[in-house]
Amino acid sequence: MGHQGLPSSSSVLWTLVARQHGAVSRAQLLELGYSPPTIKHRIANGRLHPVHRGVYAIGRPQLTRHGRRMAAVLSCGPVAALSHRSAGALWEISPDRRSEIEVSVPARVTHVRPGVVVHRRAKLSCEDITHHFGIPVTTPILTLVDLAAVLPRDHLEAAVNEADKRSLTDPEALRSALDELTAMPGLAALRNTLDRRTFTLTDSELERRFLPLARGAGLPLPQTRRRVSGFPVDFYWPGLGLVVETDGLRYHRTPAQQAKDRLRDQVQTAAGLTPLRFTHAQVKFEPDHVQAILTSVARRLRAGDLSPG
């Protein structure tokens, strides 16, 4: 006899169960050759523990958090995936302290499961589903679209930031992917959030937008992509000792990036330079503010007066 009284031929089953965090479906048992009477007998003997209709825990009734998530997905059929807040928690981009587990299924599926929130989708294909910790789950981009339909704006921004930091996606890739999607709950909300907070300009686009502002402030053509005081800089006016940086394409910079930015500004200030920092969003959406700051700083530098206004 094998583990927990199952026959030694059940090694394939135990491999499957280990991959599925202790959960298995009735359909999987039948496919592995376990007959309905055998399944019923093992339930009676406490070797299989019902979790959902047609889904069992093997060996002991308790499942881990991943096991409960896997069991919820298994209970909803072969084409199902963890989604929404539950997917956000699995990807570790958004917390979910609720006991209910959210699962997406094709629209034709009519399962109702206690403790499982079932989202029926007009379209749910293999391209929409991946695996994380062995659990079928919506892709990071689809997860963010779903989260946009259920989270307030500040929580959604935090989720996008976490996805960016974990290299699951980034705002540019996300916006590009959204252009291919239509008629989904959360799509408009996510687009609006990204339009407000992300930096969508490439280097060349940034230069086309920024350089006219610099000219409008009375500045000559700057040097670009130079190293100054040991750091690469975006725009540099050596005659004025003025350095202008624009934040990267990601709309939130990680703590390590922020620390490097502060060090760069400190080193440049100690070298007698004047560092300024604008976001891509400011260049694009607040050009009057950017030009006013450049005008004021350039005037002081030309006058040799570096004291505050």
Domain at 234, CATH number:
3.40.960.10
Q: Which residues contact 96 (CB under 8 A, 6 or more apart)?
A: 85, 86, 88, 89
* In contact, 43 and 36? CB cutoff 8 Å: no
Asked if the model's pLDDT at residue 7 lies above 50, the reply is no
Q: Identify whether 90 is part of a domain.
A: no
Q: Identify whether 286 is part of a domain.
A: yes
**Residue 183 pLDDT grade (very low, low, confident, very high; cuts 50, 70, 90):** confident
Q: Identify whether 291 is part of a domain.
A: yes
Asked if the model's pLDDT at residue 154 lies above 70, the reply is yes
Q: Identify whether 263 is part of a domain.
A: yes
Q: Identify whether 242 is part of a domain.
A: yes
pLDDT tens figures, 194-232: 865 444 445 666 777 888 999 999 999 898 878 999 998
Q: Identify whether 243 is part of a domain.
A: yes
**Residue 253 pLDDT grade (very low, low, confident, very high; cuts 50, 70, 90):** low
Q: Identify whether 95 is part of a domain.
A: no
* In contact, 102 and 85? CB cutoff 8 Å: yes
Asked if the model's pLDDT at residue 255 lies above 70, the reply is no
Query: β-strand 23-25 against 55-58: which pairing, if any?
Result: antiparallel
**Residue 297 pLDDT grade (very low, low, confident, very high; cuts 50, 70, 90):** very high
Asked if the model's pLDDT at residue 19 lies above 90, the reply is yes
Q: Tell me, what's the pLDDT at 4?
A: 46
Domain span at 223: 203-303
**Residue 134 pLDDT grade (very low, low, confident, very high; cuts 50, 70, 90):** very high
pTM: 0.63
| Number of domains into which the chain is organized | 1
Mean pLDDT within 72-93: 95
Query: What separation in angstroms does the CA of 122 have from each of 13, 142, 178, 260?
Result: 33, 14, 17, 46
Q: Identify whether 288 is part of a domain.
A: yes
Where is pLDDT greater, at 298 or 225? 298
